[in-house]
Each structure stands twice: as structure tokens, then as C-alpha cells.
Amino acid sequence: MTASLTRIIIADDHPLVRGALRQAVETRFKPAEVVEVGVFEEAVAAIDRLQEIDLLLLDLAMPGVEGFSGLMYLRAQHPSVPVVIVSANDDPGVIRRALGFGASGFIPKTVAMDTMTEALGVVLNGGVWTPPDVDLLQPVDQETGELVKKLATLTPQQVRVLMMLSQGLLNKQIAFELSVSEATVKAHVSAILQKLGVDSRTQAVIAAAKIAAAGTTG
């Protein structure tokens, strides 16, 4: 019987990290098709191009994303694709937040190669992998927990708009980037404000930054 092909996207802007992750993948899975990307938009394009993806390994800090915004977008836009965060930031609070936003696992970049291959195997078998010494049951503070829930209700396009608001783009610039009308952008902004329970785009950006800040160390 021919072994099925495992398709994995590695999204990280550091070539050495991508190389280590590729080695872990190719050690554990044969045959495997590995696509390496260094920019978030390239990861999205790769998913659209390849269609059937078994796993996406995502760095929290890379061009095109800030904090958990990339994870939020992928879980909303491609809910069937398991996403594992691979990050230099192994703070337990960050790990718990990542799982709260729908990550299938969290692998610190400091783990040994055999641990990394073991983690990939767990996720591809339908499980969730995190460092064994992390207490996942410890709750995040109430304010953060409520904000996570609110952000998780945003649609993929609303997540993109919020990401662009966070970058300081004006409505007309966002409209150009997304190839939509300014009226559509305004509608998205209004929906974002309503879902987050804030009164202005500045408050929306501040709210998003509270969640993103802890996860921005790649």
C-alpha cells in the first residue's frame, strides 16, 4: 500500500528555523510535501493553492501578522486546517491564549528535534500538543478571557480589517488592499466595534493590541 502524502506549510521568516522544522517533518513523515513561506500572505496563498493541507506551522511574529491575528484569521477562514504555533515565546499565558484562539498545539523553538517530531505526530493524529510542564487549566484573567471570546467572533474579513487598522491604515487604503468599496470597509469597522463592545476604531486597536502584545516575540 502506498503511504499517503503529508502536506505541511511552514510559515516563519527565519530560514534556519524553517530548515529545522523541515528536518523534523521529513524525519517523521514520508512521503511529505513541505512548503516554506516567510510572509503571512504567502501562507494564505499556499493554502488556497494546495487545497488539502494536513498541518500549518505558524510563527507568531512574522511579516504580515501581529500576535495572534494570523492564527485568528486562519482559524476563521480555514477551520479544517490544523495550525500549530511555533514560537520563541513559551510563556504559559501565551500558550493558553493560542489554544483559546484555536491552535492545535504550541511548540517552543527551544525544544529538541525528537520532541518536535513527537509533537507533530500527536497533532497529525488529531491530538493537541503543548509542553508537558505548562498548566493549561490555569485560567487567564477575566478581562483577557472576555476579550478573547469577542475577538473569536470576528469573520475572516473583519480580522483582516482589524489587522490593517492596527497598522494605521485609513479606510480608503484598506479598501484598496482588499479590493472592496470604502462603504464595505466602513460596514466591517462598525461590525468590529459592535462585536468588541467599543466606541471607536482606536479602542478596537487597543483591545487587539492587548492580546497581540504577549505573542509578538517570534
| Confidence grade of residue 117 (pLDDT, cut at 50, 70, 90) | confident
The residue that leads in pLDDT, 140 or 194, is: 194
Examine the pLDDT at 217 and tell me if it is beyond 60: no
Topology at the third CATH level for domain 142-213: Arc Repressor Mutant, subunit A (1.10.10)
Q: Which residues contact 185 (CB under 8 A, 6 or more apart)?
A: 161, 171, 174, 175, 178
pLDDT tens, residue by residue, 71-109: 888 887 888 889 999 988 888 888 888 888 889 999 998
Rounded CA Rg of the chain: 18
Q: Where are the domains of the chain?
A: 6-124, 142-213
Superfamily of 6-124 according to CATH: Response regulator (3.40.50.2300)
